[in-house]
Amino acid sequence: MKSSWFVYILRCADDTLYTGVTVDVTRRMKEHNEGGVKSAKYTRHRRPITLMYQESCQDRSTACKREAAIKKLSRAAKLKLIATTNPINE
């Protein structure tokens, strides 16, 4: 059985943006906010984090390629991507 992969963008407490991939956005958010060994080193000291954007992908390869494309965007372009999609309220 194939699981869906997601690309997501977080806003950190210092107002920076972090982009990642996962199969379970809720679990990954919890890991980022707990700041333990499973959180990303980048977000560990920038908590709390807020989910700003998520996008479903068909497989890990597609998700990783999309993550790389988003990471290449300027901050302004990332904010525009977030603003032009349905906002996520958590």
The pLDDT value given to residue 83: 93
pLDDT tens by residue, 37-77: 888 899 998 999 999 999 999 999 999 999 999 999 999 99
Where does the pLDDT of residue 1 fall: very low under 50, low under 70, confident under 90, or very high at 90 and above? very low
In this predicted structure, the answer to whether residue 5 has a pLDDT above a threshold of 80 is yes
pLDDT tens by residue, 78-89: 999 999 886 554
The pLDDT value given to residue 79: 95
The pLDDT value given to residue 88: 57
DSSP for 36-88 reads: STTS-HHHHTS-S-EEEEEEEESSHHHHHHHHHHHHHS-HHHHHHHHHTSPPP
Backbone φ/ψ region at 61: left (φ over 0), alpha (ψ -120 to 50), beta: alpha
In this predicted structure, the answer to whether residue 13 has a pLDDT above a threshold of 90 is yes
- For the chain, domain boundaries: 5-83
- Whether domain 5-83 has CATH 3.40.1440.10: yes
Element (H, E) at 29: helix 25-34
